[in-house]
Amino acid sequence: MKLDISTHKLFGYRSTLRTAKRLTEEAVRVVDRSVAGRMPDLRVVLTSERNFAEVSTAAEWETAGCTDKRTQSRSLRAAKKLARETAARAVPLNDGGVLIVVNVDQHPNEATFALTLVHELVHAMQTSRKGVRERLIAGLRHDLGVERLSRRQSRELDRLFEADEKEAYGAEHLAGRLVPAAAA
């Protein structure tokens, strides 16, 4: 498993990057031991609210194979509206890895960052399970209009997505092992 932590258009956040590296390395160990699956190669990108949508949608387009400019601009506009409320996002990549994009504006301290990081690492672990990566990519392709799914398949994806979210929220208690303040 490879781990790459970087920033995107984020200046003056060197101490935040050091903290993120330290917490991410420890969080990977904790989540890898506690959650079923195998940790894939990870790319963690720290960025601001302004650039969050740009980074995450670019990865989604590449994964889904979306080349339609109109669809890309529509999805970018929708992502920009949600970027203000979104703390982080895990996107499966074509090479088998996972990109985790973190909005640093949503994390005022280490405890909230650890909580978000554990949540997204659980999602990364879920992609290593049988059929999950294909399901996530099919959902991306459906959302971007590349390949439509039937209503039944779409409802099934939504149901499984909710189950994945429930598991990730249930594992957030692991953040208390990284930063004691996150347990409160």
Q: What would the pLDDT profile of 68-99 be if each residue is shown by its tens digit? A: 999 999 999 999 999 989 999 999 999 999 99
Q: Is the pTM of this model over 0.85?
A: yes
Kindly report each contact of residues 20-23 with a partner whose C-beta sits within 8 Å and lies 24 or more positions away, as own/partner: 20/44, 20/46, 20/102, 20/113, 23/110, 23/113, 23/114, 23/117, 23/178, 23/179
Amino acid at 61: W
- 143 within a domain of the structure (yes/no): yes
* Domain membership flag for residue 183: no
Looking at the domain assignment, is residue 136 inside a domain? Answer: yes
Query: Does residue 165 lie in a domain region?
Result: yes
The answer to the question of residue 160 being in a domain is yes
Q: Rounded to an integer, what distance in angstroms lies between the CA atom of residue 143 and that of residue 160?
A: 16
Q: Which domain holds residue 57?
A: 3-177
Q: Per the domain annotation, does 184 fall within a domain?
A: no
Q: Does a structural domain hold residue 90? A: yes
**How many other C-beta atoms are found inside a 10 Å radius of the C-beta of residue 65?**
13
